[in-house]
Amino acid sequence: MQFGIKNKLSQLVLLMGLFPVMALAQVYTFKQCVETTLGQNPSLEVSKYKLQQAKSALSEASLSRLPQVTLSATATRSNNALNVFGMKLSQRDASFRDFGFAEFNATNPNIIAVKPKDLNNPDAHNDFSTRLEVLFPVWNGGKVSAYQGKASAMIKAAQHGDNALKQFLIFNVYQAYEAVHTAKAFVQVATQAVKASRSYVRTTKNLLKQGIVVKSELLSAKVSLSQAMTSLQLAEAKVLIAKDNLRSLMFINPDSPLKVGSRKDISLPNKNLAEFIGMAITKNPEIKATREDARSSKVAVASVDADNYPSFNVMARGQTNDASLGFNSNSYTVAGVLSWKLTDFGVTASRVDRANALANEKRSKLVVKENKIKLEILKAWRMLNVAKKRFISNKLSVEQSKEAQRLILKRHRGGVATIAEVLAGQTQLDKTRADLVSSKYEINLQKAKIKLAIGAMNLEQF
């Protein structure tokens, strides 16, 4: 019996020793949240496949400069007079009999009118042909170079797009991570309000027993407590919602426990507004991706226009022909082929116009995106300055409200101030505390927006 108790106690001690480790395993620092998101978010899979497509396109364009080698084997049986005669020639097996000389009769005065059977109505014949052909592309109007340029631009666009997506995900993670801390700060504010409201209820009860206050003041204190508890429940719900958003970004189980690490404040480089806008235009990865996309469309015009120019290719062919399976009769062919499409009645010109229109569309989108980035920087910059001023003002308001509430409570204990004044002062204090939390969140959020716009939303810079 004692052995069983000792065994259970040892198991309990072991489990208690594991609890800190288990709790520690549930804590996610900001870095871990980002790494988990970048490792599991399926959006990055899409970006990866786009980059893979661009690299394959460049490889395809580069390899098209190399010779094309074709091996073919053909088995043919025919009694067509022309085919049979051609097969025998290819097999180097044609004879005078095939021309009908076996039916030649010099004494026949109409010999010229004779239709030789061996020539016109031959028996069926077989041909087994093996061919190895090599085509050397020499010049194709610059089409290959254009394809390479387009593919290179596509790769750069995909790389910048991948970077832009990663930075956007990091921004979203930061926003959700900061929202968890902000919601927890609201919980602290609401908890303080509940604690204060409970003390007011207790104080008012005592004063009511002493006959110093009327019952309505106790009811007012209870109503205030009820409202404070409701605010606390709302703040706690916001914590849960913020954690749900963070779990969703990280693609972890919605029911898994989640604790966040310490808060992460953002610092910006010491730049003015004009410098931030310049950085956004030159360094923002989404702008870079759009710029390369526009360049690839421009290069694509040259690949279409290449059809207006001549092409020259060299072909070398080795061939065997035999009446049965074998390689008895060998032959070769070497040819240079110059081809120039003189007119297609405007088909190529229309394709060039369409490609130019697409390139112009991409350039216009680039201008629109640049203007959008400028506006985002301007808006975030102005909101940041306002938030900084609000934060300073809110800190002063909290201190002033604390002191004002202290004086009201002192007057209330002396029977000078009413419970209504006490509750109003507490409401004002709660509001200033909440405003301080909001302004802190707003500062970090606007800094994050600027950081994202200038292409600096990298984990290494936190």
User: Looking at this protein, which amino acid is placed at residue 192?
Assistant: Q
Instruction: Check whether 12 has a pLDDT greater than 50.
Output: no
Q: What is the pLDDT of residues 32-45, one digit of tens each?
A: 999 999 988 888 88
Strands 125-139 vs 259-260: parallel, antiparallel or unpaired = unpaired
By the 10 Å C-beta count (0-12 exposed, 13-18 middle, 19+ buried), 270 is classed as: exposed
Estimate to the nearest angstrom the gap between the alpha carbon of 395 and the chain centroid.
Answer: 40
Q: What is the pLDDT of residues 308-341, one digit of tens each?
A: 999 999 999 999 999 888 777 889 999 998 999 8
How much is the mean pLDDT over the chain?
87
Q: Give the mean pLDDT of 276-288.
A: 95
Strands 27-28 vs 68-78: parallel, antiparallel or unpaired = unpaired
pLDDT at 178 (0 to 100)? 94
Instruction: Check whether 399 has a pLDDT greater than 90.
Output: yes
The conformational region for residue 142 under phi > 0 = left, psi -120 to 50 = alpha, else beta, is left
Contact 384, 276 (CB under 8 A): no
The model's confidence at residue 210, banded by pLDDT at 50, 70 and 90, is confident
pLDDT greater at residue 104 or residue 458: 458
Q: What are phi and psi of 142, to 5 degrees?
A: 80, 10
Strands 68-78 vs 259-260: parallel, antiparallel or unpaired = unpaired
pLDDT at 18 (0 to 100)? 42
How many CB atoms neighbour CB 425 within 10 A? 21
Structure tokens at 430: 């709660």
Q: Which residues pair with 137 in a beta bridge?
A: 313
% of the chain with per-residue pLDDT over 70? 94
Q: Which of 19-28, 81-90, 291-300 has the lowest mean pLDDT?
A: 19-28
Strands 259-260 vs 27-28: parallel, antiparallel or unpaired = parallel
Q: What is the pLDDT of residues 215-226, one digit of tens each?
A: 888 898 899 999
The model's confidence at residue 185, banded by pLDDT at 50, 70 and 90, is very high
Distance CA 134, CA 23 (A): 68
Q: Which of 84, 78, 131, 68 is nearest to 330 (CA)?
A: 131
Q: Which of 166, 154, 160 is nearest to 55 (CA)?
A: 154
Instruction: Check whether 2 has a pLDDT greater than 60.
Output: no
What are the extents of the domains in the chain?
Answer: 30-66+142-315+340-461
The conformational region for residue 191 under phi > 0 = left, psi -120 to 50 = alpha, else beta, is alpha
Strands 311-322 vs 125-139: parallel, antiparallel or unpaired = antiparallel
Q: Give the mean pLDDT of 212-238.
A: 90
Contact 28, 173 (CB under 8 A): no
Sign of the alpha-carbon torsion through 218, 223, 228, 232: positive
Contact 94, 85 (CB under 8 A): yes
Contact 196, 182 (CB under 8 A): no
The model's confidence at residue 15, banded by pLDDT at 50, 70 and 90, is very low
The model's confidence at residue 295, banded by pLDDT at 50, 70 and 90, is very high
pLDDT at 23 (0 to 100)? 44
Torsion of CA 12, 14, 19, 25, to 10 degrees: -150
Instruction: Check whether 395 has a pLDDT greater than 80.
Output: yes
Contact 243, 26 (CB under 8 A): no
Architecture of domain 30-66+142-315+340-461: Up-down Bundle (1.20)
Distance CA 145, CA 137 (A): 13
pLDDT at 26 (0 to 100)? 65
Q: Give the mean pLDDT of 348-364.
A: 93
